[in-house]
Structure 1
Amino acid sequence: MNERIVVAPRRSDGRPRSRDAARVGVLRRIAAAKLKHHGLDMLINDVLLISSELLTNALLHSGTTEFTLNLTVRSGCLRIAVIDDMPGRAELREIDNEAETGRGLRLVEVLAEQSGGTWGTSEDGAATWCSLPVPTGQRQ
C-alpha cells in the first residue's frame, strides 16, 4: 500500500493546519482497512499508533508539503514507512516528565521492541520506518 497526501507549507508557529492533521487520520483509516482486507487484523492497533506517530512526526518536523505512508509485507514482517523526501533523520529525544510532546518515537521504539521488531530511518533521512513481525497464521 502506498498512500500519499499533500499538506500546506508549515506555518511560522510550527503547528499543523487542522485539515492537514485530519489527513493523518484519513491515512490511519485507509491503513486499517488495508490491513483488515489482507487478514492482518491482529496488527491494526499497533500499526495505527505507529503510523500516526510517524506521520505526525513528518508533519511537524520535516517541512515537506507531501509525504507517503507505505505498508509492505515481506519475509514475515510488516514494514510501515513514512517517506517525506526531506533530509534530516528522526531521532529520539530526551524529555522530562513535564514535556507535553516528544514521546512519539519512544512509543514507536517500545511497540517495535515488544513485538520483536525494529525501527529506524533511511540513510538520507527521507524515510522513517518500523518493522513488525506478522503473527504466525495471519494471511499476507
Structure 2
Amino acid sequence: MNAEPQHPYQREAFYRRDRRSVRLAREFTRKTLADWSVTARCDDVLLCVSELATNALLHGVPPGRGFRLRLALHTDRVLRVEVHDSGPGEVRTPDAPPESEHGRGLLLVAALADKWGVGERHPGKSMWCEFEDPA
C-alpha cells in the first residue's frame, strides 16, 4: 500500500487580487523557509512562487477574489509549493517564442523545480511545483 507522504510542516496564506500580493507571497515564503531551516535553493523557490503567484493574478483570479499559497515540507524532504486560484482558464504549455515579452514564467518554473504541474480545483485550478531535498 502506497501512503501519501506526510507533511509535518505546512503553512498557507491568502492574498487578494492586488499587485502587492506577489511581493507579500515572496516575503511569506522567505520567512517560512527560514523558520523551517530550509537554506538550499531558496532563490529558486522564491522565483517559482513569484511566477505562480503572478500567473494566478494575471490569468486565474477574477475581480473581487484572490489566491491561496500553500507551502508543505514533507518528511521525505520534498518542498511543495501550491498556488490555488478560483478563476477559469487553461494553463498553456510553456513555449513562449524568444521575441515574446510574456509567457516565460512557466518556462522558469519548469527549469528550476524538480517537478511541476496543474491540478483541478472547483472552481479554478491549483498550480504546483516541488523541490527535492531543499535543506
Which band: TM-score by shorter chain?
0.7 to 0.9
Structure 2: unaligned runs, 5 residues or longer: 1-10
Paired amino acid for 2:36: H
CA offset at residue 22 of structure 1? 1.6
Kindly indicate whether residue 13 of structure 2 is the aligned counterpart of residue 3 of structure 1: yes
TM normalised by structure 2 equals: 0.81
Aligned AA (1:121): V
**How many residue pairs were aligned?**
120
Q: Report the alpha carbon displacement of residue 21 of structure 1 after superposing the two structures with TM.
A: 1.7
> What's the CA shift string for 1:20-41, capped at 9, x where partnerless?
2222101101110110111002
Deviations 1:19-76 (A, max 9, x none): x222210110111011011100213211110000000001001133210111001132
What's the % identity of the aligned pairs?
A: 36
| Contact 2:61–2:67 under 8 Å retained in 1 | no
Q: Is the 8 A contact 2:69 2:81 kept in 1?
A: yes
Give yes or no for contact 2:67–2:85 (8 Å, CA) kept in 1.
yes
- CA distance in 2 between counterparts of 1:36 and 1:80 reads 15
1:11 corresponds to which residue?
A: none
SS in structure 2 of the partner of residue 21 of structure 1: coil
The structure whose residues are more often strand, as a share, is 2
Question: Where is the helix percentage greater, Structure 1 or Structure 2?
Answer: 1
Superposed, which structure 2 residues align to 1:77-92 within 5 Å?
77-92=78-93
The one-letter code sitting in structure 1 at the alignment partner of 2:14 is: R
In structure 2, the residue matched to 1:21 is: 19
| Matched-pair contact (CA < 8 Å) for 1:89–1:121 | no
Question: What is the aligned-residue RMSD (CA, Å)?
Answer: 1.5
Amino acid at match of 1:3: A
